[in-house]
Amino acid sequence: MDKLKSNQNNDRGFRIFFVIFLLVIASAFIFLVYLEPKLNEAKVEPQETVDSNNKTSGDPPINLTNNADSQIQLEDYSDKYLSVKYPKGWRVEKNQEPSLDTKINIVDQNEQSGSISIDILWKDPSLQDVKQITEFFNTKLHSNHELSDIEILQSYERDLYKKDDGSQVKMGIQLTKYFNKTIKNNILSFQMAAPVGNRVFHFVYDTYETEAFANKKFEKMISTLILKEPLFTEERPKPEKYLTSVISQVFGDINDFNNEKSLKSLSFNENTKNVTVKIYGKDNLTKNLVKKSMWLNITETLKLLNKNDQFNNIQFIMLFPLTDIYGNKTYDPVMKISLSKNTRSKVNYDEFIFSNIPKIADSYWESPSFKN
């Protein structure tokens, strides 16, 4: 009997040991198959980033958000004039005008915590150095009625690039704080402006972030900026060619009536810098609407021209089909309007009402047919 009990105890112990053994094996299997891969996925490995010298490093990407624990990468914007890095996931919007002025907007489309604006403008001959260029953009900033409480926090100059003769070209940097009435929020605006060849380069970073944090982001982006050769070497377009391209954009290449070009003729005096253009107006439902569309199109032309205005007096002669008493159709002048450079310089085109164009003109005439 004692021997039978001993065998039963041994048998029970063996079964307990065997069950424990199976549990250990099962636990190890679950760990290897399910848990270990999950743990490996949770590890954050350093990622490679590209610095301004196009070299790679094993450091994590720069943190470009307000949350110190979150990291996002930079990605590249590049065209024939420049390349620069900006926060990944931001949206790039680009507009190139007929003057070859270029405007690039890069915006945070998710959190809307910031934006980048890059303007490449033909340089006004009166803007000779960084100080004048910086003051030029400051004037534009202060003329924006949506902004108030504008305060310049920092203003300094820094070397941008070295010319072939060894001299340094400077860039002006300003940090400005202002209140945006539209979004009802304070904005920090980091601005960089510099003369580059025949152009002015203007880089703006606007953000809601703290000054110290935003400054790191601005410095990082500026450090990745590369200006390319065409930006330095492209020649300014001739005045008449520039005006022709603007008219084509506003009035279209072909007019609405006889399949000819919208621009009938352009006469430019190189000595006086006076120009006269004959343009076919656009068709519309009534004569009154035709007249108003001419005012609007002339105003749009002047607004675009204002960015590269190399003319003294500009005369617009507007053509439109008229039918005489014999039923014959002619394309005669129905409007003549002249504006001097002095008059044009007074206009704020962002706020200007186009129907006032006859009132500010140095001379204005319209056909009696418009009054019938």
230-242 pLDDT, tens digit per residue, is: 888 888 878 898 8
Among 38-47, 54-63, 349-358, which stretch is predicted with the lowest mean pLDDT? 54-63
pLDDT at position 96 over 80: no
Tokens 């790679």 belong to 56
The pLDDT of residue 311 is 93
pLDDT at position 167 over 80: no
pLDDT at position 276 over 70: yes
Of 166 and 156, the structure prediction assigns the larger pLDDT to: 156
| Residue 26 banded pLDDT, cuts 50, 70, 90 | low
* CA 320 remoteness from chain centre: 37
**Average pLDDT of span 56-63:** 32
What is the percent of the chain with per-residue pLDDT over 70, rounded to a whole number?
77
Among 139-143, 170-174, 343-347, which stretch is predicted with the lowest mean pLDDT? 139-143
| Residue 271 banded pLDDT, cuts 50, 70, 90 | very high
- Indicate the Cα dihedral angle 61, 65, 67, 69, nearest 10°: -10
What is the percent of the chain with per-residue pLDDT over 90, rounded to a whole number?
32
The pLDDT of residue 266 is 96
pLDDT at position 255 over 60: yes
The pLDDT of residue 37 is 44
**Average pLDDT of span 307-315:** 88
**Average pLDDT of span 214-219:** 87
**The amino acid at 56:** T
Tell me how far apart the alpha carbons of residues 67 and 57 are, in angstroms, rounded to a whole number.
23
The pLDDT of residue 103 is 85
**Average pLDDT of span 328-340:** 93
The pLDDT of residue 19 is 60
Among 8-22, 96-110, 151-165, 268-282, which stretch is predicted with the lowest mean pLDDT? 8-22
To 5 degrees, how large is the angle CA 247–CA 251–CA 255? 120
For 109-164, write each residue's pLDDT tens digit: 776 778 999 988 887 767 778 888 888 888 877 777 788 888 989 888 888 776 66
The pLDDT of residue 305 is 86
In the chain, the domains with their CATH numbers are 72-233 (3.40.1000.10), 239-370 (no CATH)
Most confidently modeled of 47-56, 108-117, 213-222? 213-222
Distances, alpha carbon 281 to alpha carbons 7, 151, 300, 335, 355, in Å = 114, 46, 13, 10, 16
The pLDDT of residue 353 is 96
* CA 372 remoteness from chain centre: 46
Tell me how far apart the alpha carbons of residues 128 and 106 are, in angstroms, rounded to a whole number.
29
| Residue 17 banded pLDDT, cuts 50, 70, 90 | low
| Residue 70 banded pLDDT, cuts 50, 70, 90 | very low
